[in-house]
Amino acid sequence: MFWMQKILKGILFFVVFATLFSYVVMWLWNLIIPSVTGWTILTFWQAAGLLLLSKILFGFRGGWGRHWGGHPRHNYFWKQKWDDKLSHMTPEEKENMKNMWSKHFCNWQEEPKQSSGENQ
């Protein structure tokens, strides 16, 4: 009896969540898309079908939005690999790498240089 109640609550929660999410998608679509593109408005069932189609096309893995940062194991592997690389570098190599990264990625702080041919 206890498991049956949990299953029924889970099904009820899913139905309520899917209904609310479908209404949100329908509302946002009908608010934005017809005025921007001229496409027609969506019904509730079209919005629900669009949600289901997007989950089929883009995958069911990881739930809703949990896969943006990747799996923590992969992030740890990348950090470990980077730390290993830095630990085997000489101080001169580290300084060269720092200068290279500063040159390529941190030049936004410098004032833009004007060529002599530009009018002021």
Q: Encode pLDDT of 28-69 as tens digits.
A: 999 999 999 989 999 999 999 999 998 888 876 655 544 455
In the chain, where the domains are located: 2-58, 73-105
Q: Encode pLDDT of 62-109 as tens digits.
A: 555 444 555 555 566 777 887 888 888 888 988 888 888 877 776 655
**Cα(46)–Cα(16) distance, integer angstroms:** 17
Confidence at residue 115, expressed as pLDDT on a 0 to 100 scale: 56
* pLDDT-derived band at 3, boundaries 50, 70, 90: confident
Confidence at residue 10, expressed as pLDDT on a 0 to 100 scale: 93
Q: What is the 3-state secondary structure (H, E, C) of 65-85?
A: CCCCCCCHHHHHHHHHHHHHH
pTM above 0.75, yes or no: no
Confidence at residue 71, expressed as pLDDT on a 0 to 100 scale: 57
Contact (Cβ atoms closer than 8 angstroms) between residue 21 and residue 51: yes
